[in-house]
Amino acid sequence: MNFAQPTIPRCEIHDCFACPVGDASWKECVVTDCTGTLPLCRCNAGVKRHFGCLRVVVADVTGMNTDRFVVEESVDEIAAYNRRAWDTQVAKGNCWTIPVTSEVIELARNGTWDVVLTPQKPVPRSWFPKLPGLDVLGLASGGGQQAPILAAAGACVTVLDNSARQLEQDQLVARRDGLQIRSIQGDMRDLSCFAADSFDVIFNPCSVSFVPEVQAVFDEAYRVLRPGGVLMCGFMNPVRLIFDEDELERGQVIVRHALPYADQTRLSAEAQDRLKAAGEPFVFSHSLEDLISGQLRSGFVLRDLFEDQADEEKLSEFLPVYFATLAVKNAE
Ligand SMILES: C[S@@+](CC[C@H](N)C(=O)[O-])C[C@H]1O[C@@H](n2cnc3c(N)ncnc32)[C@H](O)[C@@H]1O
């Protein structure tokens, strides 16, 4: 389907989209402000769907005309929610949002550096090609951590992340330590802002658990990598999500949920409200088949894999809760 992007005025308060017409013929055009509570356009009276401030991808019904549009499926509601949640995580000082120090950057400039895709184990240096001059995409990798280190090690780094505040953490380090990092706010499932064959390395720390479907992430990563380019991903083992999270925090390991898991389908309304009140992002499990075969289906060849854990997590006493993969786009 051809997508056309009509001119949609932005809501000045929330930096999101308002429908340009109050026209009932726009059957699917239902756009609210980014709080999800103030409908800016309700052409389809009674239906409220929140597309947030992330994107309103629109196409005409046939894919040909440009005067009638449908708005893409409402998965963006999740991205809009998780955007706010990660902004909140920055405010709360979540450890994945805390910028590295100038000392770390100075060492990286002198060739001493490591980065993580998972909580603890540094990514083997053998996974990286020689960085100076290479184009690296930090995918969902804001937070002032990996991107500034890779930039200090000589790479030309672009970061695409859903959270403005996570991106700002990278820029904070860039300003402080004199680095260049290109920051783009967007959804990891849609890399249409990049041309095909744009990057040599894509670095994607644990983050696909924040989107409901993962195949688009791999397909898009494959498209924007150059032949011979590498995709490094960190993942949470899906088994992690079968346990009762509240009990885990009390040190009890109790199996509670069947897979596939999503906060929105497995938790009670009260439990979801607690997550929302705490500004916690919503998570989704993805099967190992989706995570591993999904990369192969996109065309990647899997080169390596390691497992990791997080010492502070109770479950790490029982299994490696995280793993990382290295995949390559075949050189043509
Ligand atoms: C665990 S953090 C990863 C970054 C962190 N520096 C690290 O080392 O783990 C997860 C990141 O995924 C981002 N994220 C969540 N949903 C996203 C989406 N749909 N598209 C792009 N980024 C997303 C969050 O904003 C957050 O920065």
Give, using CA atoms, the residue closest to atom 19 of ligand 1.
187
Residues 6-44: b if buried by 16+ CB within 10 A, e if exposed: bebeebeebebbbbeeeeeebebbbbbbbebeebbbbbe
* Exposed/middle/buried for residue 309 (C-beta within 10 Å: 0-12, 13-18, 19+): buried
- Cβ of 166 less than 6 Å from ligand 1: yes
Closest residue by Cα to atom 27, ligand 1, is 142
Query: Confidence class of residue 193 from pLDDT cuts 50, 70 and 90?
Result: confident
- Residue 143 Cα: closest atom of ligand 1: 6
Q: Is the CB of 141 under 6 A from ligand 1?
A: yes
Phi-psi label, residue 251: left if phi above 0, alpha if psi -120 to 50, beta otherwise: left
Condensed to tens digits (0 to 9), the pLDDT of residues 194-251 reads 999 999 999 999 999 999 999 999 999 999 999 999 999 999 999 999 999 999 999 9
Residue in 166, 191, 233, 280 to alter for ligand 1 test, most ligand atoms within 8 A of Cβ: 166
pLDDT per position as a tens digit, 290-302: 999 999 999 999 9
Top mutation candidate among 53, 75, 86 for ligand 1, by most atoms within 8 Å of CB: 86
Q: What percent of the chain has pLDDT over 70?
A: 77
Query: What pLDDT was estimated at residue 20?
Result: 39
Higher-confidence residue: 314 or 76?
314
Pocket lining: 171 vs ligand 1, CB cutoff 6 Å: no
Query: Has this prediction a pTM greater than 0.85?
Result: no
What is the 3 state secondary structure string of the chain? CCCCCCCCCEECCCCEECCCCCCCCCCCCEEECCCCCCEEEECCCCCCCCCCCCCCCEECCCCCCCCCCEECCCCHHHHHHHHHHHHHHHHHCCHHHCCCCHHHHHHHHCCCCCCECCCCCECCHHHCCCCCCCEEEEECCCCCCHHHHHHHCCCEEEEEECCHHHHHHHHHHHHHHCCCEEEEECCCCCCCCCCCCCEEEEEECCCHHHCCCCHHHHHHHHHHEEEEEEEEEEEECHHHHHECHHHHHCCCCCECCCCCCEHHHHCCHHHHHHHHHCCCCCCECCCHHHHHHHHHHHCEEEEEEEEECCCCCHHHHCCCCEEEEEEEECCC
Mean pLDDT value of segment 154-164: 95
Model confidence at 160, in pLDDT bands (50, 70, 90)? very high
Q: How far is the CA of 24 from the centre of ligand 1 (A)?
A: 37
Q: Is residue 140 within 6 Å of ligand 1 at its C-beta?
A: yes
Distance 219 CA to ligand 1 centre (A): 18
- Round the average pLDDT of the chain to a whole number and report it: 82
Domains of the chain are 1-74 (no CATH), 87-329 (3.40.50.150)
